[in-house]
Amino acid sequence: MDQPTELAFDLEQFNQRWELPSLVNWLEQLPGDIAHRMSEKRYGDLPRWRDALAALPQLNADATLLNQSAVGCSGDISQASSSELERALRGLHPWRKGPFSLFDVTIDTEWRSDFKWDRLQPALRPLAGKRVLDVGCGNGYHCWRMLGQGADEVIGIDPTPLFVLQFKALQHYLQCPNIHVLPLALEHLPAKLEAFDTVFSMGVLYHRKSPIDHLSRLRECLAPGGQLILETLVVEGDAQTVFMPPDRYARMGNVWFLPSAPALGSWLKKLGFVDVELVDINQTSTAEQRSTSWMTFHSLSDFLDPDDSQKTIEGHSAPQRAILSAVKLG
């Protein structure tokens, strides 16, 4: 199966930098897996998204900007080029994670993902020289922030082709060889990988029918002594409290288990993690998640009770997110 052209360069670099005996078989089948997951037979919108990617103008950046809220690049471009750039980028709507700034075009995404990045900073170990995995990374916003902190290699995985192509749009101008976003889910990685110094899983756990299996697989990806940064929806309660929505939660149909923060900590300890720490609990605000011209669909304000912002439209507690840090025992 032919490798999608927009990912060919990524795979060449990826193979060169991952010369681990335990990964040989997986790397051999990876191009075919990616081609299958980026198949137009599976995603009818892929031709349109690929046309948008192909329409990006050829522009040279003066500087890459990774350590600021709006990740991107700077440089002087003409008004005509700016209009061409914005038109192509808007062809990759909806933009969920961000924000980004490419030359003089600002992508005002649905999520202010920089807010979350700021909240997790107090617990994050130095990333300089580390190999990092971001599970469910979306378009890779946080991957760029990880790279900005000196990570040696950042791998993001997300099964949604649109997000992969949004990452490629950024990479078209930023041109960083040691960052990749691949159209894979966690279960597509080899078992017992033990290859990453730091693993992030943010906004994923509540979508999993078996959260314990998900946490166990995250642990398998970590090298001994590695750090897990886990962010997920939680509810109030003690170590025995877990809520399973009977139907939808904040209009999401694929929400399974919302533990309390103490229960989540207990799960991690049960799986063999140590130094489990609750870093932050934050109720999601409409300043952090909202509709914009770059994401014109419904957003948080549409998912909350119009008469009580402390409740979802279904009457459950409004979304509250916890960040936990844990370490795989060496």
**Tens-digit pLDDT profile for residues 213-234:** 999 999 999 999 999 999 999 9
pLDDT of residue 6: 66
pTM of the predicted structure, to 2 decimals: 0.96
Closest CA to 325 of 151, 125, 149: 125
Q: What's the token pair of residue 52?
A: 């948008």
pLDDT of residue 1: 42
Q: Is 253 helix (H, G, I), strand (E, B) or coil?
A: coil
CA 312-113-101 angle, 5° bins: 135
Q: Which CATH superfamily is domain 5-328 in?
A: Vaccinia Virus protein VP39 (3.40.50.150)
Q: How far apart are CA 28 and CA 310, in angstroms?
A: 50
Residue segments in the chain with a per-residue pLDDT below the cut of 70:
1-14, 19-22
The helix (run of H) or strand (run of E) holding residue 80 is helix 79-90
Question: Phi, psi (5° rounding) for residue 160?
Answer: -90, 115
Long-range contacts from 103-108, C-beta under 8 angstroms, 24+ separation: 103/59, 103/61, 103/72, 103/73, 103/74, 103/75, 103/76, 103/77, 103/173, 104/77, 106/70, 107/70, 107/294, 108/292, 108/293, 108/294
Tell me which residue has tokens 């080899």.
190
Question: Phi, psi (5° rounding) for residue 163?
Answer: -65, -35
